């Protein structure tokens, strides 16, 4: 199966392109690790195969409008 066909098939059946779906899913995984573990940001970067911390920060900020550290701080303070 070619990459182009797979991409079109995925978009037809899910309504979004595959890259966006994968990135959104990875952001959800980052959120889970930020809120439910004591993993450091660089550990999350390595586990989820981001290029480096700045790459994760840029992508996370694009989707959540704040960096991962601020997200963790905001949501853990709300629980306390």
pLDDT in tens, 14-73: 999 999 999 999 999 999 999 999 999 999 999 999 999 999 999 999 999 999 999 999
Instruction: Provide the angle, in degrees to the nearest 10, between the axes of the packed helices 68-79 and 18-36.
Output: 50
Where exactly are the structural domains of the chain? Answer: 3-79
Q: What does the CA dihedral 60, 63, 64, 68 come to, rounded to 10 degrees?
A: 0
- What is the per-residue pLDDT for 39? 95
The radius of gyration of the chain from alpha carbons, rounded to an integer in Å, stands at 15
pTM: 0.85
Residue 48 main-chain phi, psi, to 5 deg: -105, 10
**Whether pLDDT at 80 is above 60:** no
- What is the per-residue pLDDT for 76? 85
Q: What is the homologous superfamily of the domain 3-79 according to CATH? A: Homeodomain-like (1.10.10.60)
Give the pLDDT band of residue 9 (cuts 50, 70, 90).
very high
């Amino acid at each position: 199966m070619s990459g182009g066909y797979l991409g079109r098939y995925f978009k037809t059946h899910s309504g979004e392109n595959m890259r966006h779906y994968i990135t959104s899913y990875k952001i959800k995984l980052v959120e889970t690790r930020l809120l439910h573990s004591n993993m450091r940001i660089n550990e999350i970067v390595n586990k989820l195969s981001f290029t480096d911390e700045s790459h994760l920060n840029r992508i996370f900020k694009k989707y959540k409008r704040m960096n991962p550290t601020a997200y963790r701080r905001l949501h853990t303070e709300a629980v306390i």
